[in-house]
Amino acid sequence: MKKKKRRRGISAGTWITLAMLVAVLGLSSFVFTRLMGQEAAISLNPGVVSETLTEIIREIGGTGGEEAEQTPEPTAIATPTQSSAIQIASLQAPLETEAPTLYMNSELSIVATGQVSLGAELRNSGKQATDLYDYSTIFSPIAGAAGGADLSIVTLRSTLDDGSSGYDDYCAPATLATALKEAGFNLINLGTDRILDHGLNGLAITRNVLEQRSLSSAGAYLSQQEADTRSVVTVSDVKIGLLSYTMSLSGVGQNASSEEERAFAVRLYDAEKAAQDIAALREEGAQIVIVLAHWGKRGDTEPSKTTLEQADELVQAGADIILGTGPTNVHAMEKRQTEDGRTVFIAYSLGNFLIDDSRETDDITGVILRLNLEWDSRQERLLFADSWYMPTWIMRLREDNTSRYSIVPAGSSVTPEGMTDSIYVNMKKSYQSMTERLGSEAASPKAE
């Protein structure tokens, strides 16, 4: 039987297969380069490709006259050191890229209200049968508004004592601090004109009373070293610097203290010194600087020229929030845009929060201010969002020749228990007058 000879040449299917192989090699080179970057360049060596294809053709098509039974000559197997159809010119690990920075805004809240001092009538209203004092019911109606913030600030225009030294209009029972804490306050501003009325010893007792109740304080110091320490605290991941200034000291306080003690016990306002204090806080990392300013005169019905100038000085020095006390009336609030792109909030006077030496309508109408803030960590700036203020009213009831006090929302939709209709009408008028005067540009009014 004759042996069948193999057909010469290469079929069309084989050529198509070879063409597809070349296309795949080219496409692989392109894709690999795109994935790995320029550091991994792949090139095709035409000579090697041609040589390899020739070998493939010989395997598939054979040479003229060769029979199928013949065993082809063995070919050498390429090793990694030999040329190959695909040559990787260089292959390096991709360059390490720095992880993107994640910026998240931090939210925090501040509550601030006006000044507290207890005259004889108000002080005695809290006296119990046991000769102890309890003022917790005074703040109960507004506890929800005063508390719940990261910082809740009230200004105490008085010292505190356990009774061993006696009380007066500017020295209140220690249990007042207990009531303030129960109402939600956590920072007591002591930087007022009355803090040295009982000398440095009175200041020390006051500080001790607050510390025993885990209440922080600002504006009163027991040594030069303490006064020189400008602390920066972290609140909701935001670094806050706090400064407290008073513009003057009472004559009683000056007589009860030495010049050396006054030099460190309080920060008497000086524009140049305030600028240095604020700059020092910034150097220590403060992102927000809050200034508590006890300024103006008791009878001021609006910010005086001097107060306005001092506010300008603090803004230029870098203060972000300025909260004023001193005058018995509530004054204007504003949000000011600075040339360096900051927004500064100023409350010129938060008025009286709790006093008993006047029943004038403007003197017994106070305010609780709440600032809801965001710190933009990407642009490093302070944002104000949904801030509000709630006018308050110091309510006094007379029972059995004794006065009872409480602080109620001036915009209350119902008559507080025990309040007469005529006083309720007067209180509502006071609320309306204050909201019209303060408006809603800096913060929105809240009735209750």
Tokens of 362: 């403007």
pLDDT in tens, 269-281: 999 999 999 999 9
3-state secondary structure of 188: strand
pLDDT for position 102: 58
User: Does the pLDDT at position 55 exceed 80?
Assistant: no
Question: Can you list the positions of beta strands (E) in 86-173?
Answer: 86-88, 106-116, 151-156, 159-161, 171-173
Question: In degrees to the nearest 10, what's the CA dihedral of 33, 39, 40, 43?
Answer: 80
Dmax (CA) for the chain in angstroms is: 142
Return the bridge partners of 234, or none: 239
Average pLDDT over residues 163-169: 89
User: Does the pLDDT at position 33 exceed 70?
Assistant: no
Q: What is the CA radius of gyration of the chain?
A: 40
Query: How do strand 187-189 and strand 388-399 relate by DSSP bridges?
Result: unpaired
Q: Which residue has the higher pLDDT, 152 or 131?
A: 152
Residue 274: φ, ψ to 5°: -60, -40
What is the chain's percent helix, strand, coil content, to nearest 5? Answer: 30, 25, 40
Residues in Cβ contact with 244 at an 8 Å cutoff, skipping those fewer than 6 apart: 189, 190, 191, 218, 219, 267, 291, 292, 293, 294
Q: How many residues belong to the chain? A: 448
pLDDT for position 94: 52
- Report the run of H or E that residue 288 belongs to, with start and end: strand 288-294
User: Does the pLDDT at position 98 exceed 80?
Assistant: no
Sorted by where each starts, the structural domains of the chain and their CATH numbers stand as 12-66+81-88 (no CATH), 106-445 (3.60.21.10)
